[in-house]
Structure 1
């Protein structure tokens, strides 16, 4: 469980170094399972969302929207993703395997697709 988020300022973000890419500028923040943030952390995130640095996008992901503070979710655009069928996942796995020149049995692709529970 995440307990706090701190606004570190643009200088610290710009000073972050990505190996083999010295022209990297952070322009987005992905918060996976944002429903696990404490109320205090969500309120800190709210301040960042209300006054974001220029050209920054926040992507908040959750499977439990009801646990996200109303003040946070009211400032978000919602996108609902449907569960993919096993056949759709197998088709995508087949395409990826072909592009990567990987040989994988059909039974293995089906097993992976079932385990994915509709996610890709």
Structure 2
């Protein structure tokens, strides 16, 4: 699914759990399993924007480091920050961009050096 669609899906789910019938909360509970950083980031944003109360959101990480997997609750504050964020939970996008740029510079320097040596 396209990243913008993943983010939009989070908004749809928020609309569902915030829906009312005859002015009363419908008390809808959704259980969603995802690996989508875009979905989670949108959820964090909407908590910070007060579009969904943090009390209506429970997020868990499946910890498979032990013999039997356990569900660890993620602690999300009112600003949408995850207090017990797991290191390397999502890939480091900026780190990947930086390393790609470094590799490109290295290749360009190597080609430049090869051209200089060939012309001598």
Query: Is the pair's TM-score, using the shorter chain for normalization, greater than 0.5?
Result: no
Bigger helix share? 2
Bigger strand share? 2
Identify the structure with bigger relative contact order (alpha carbons < 8 Å, sequence gap 6+): 1
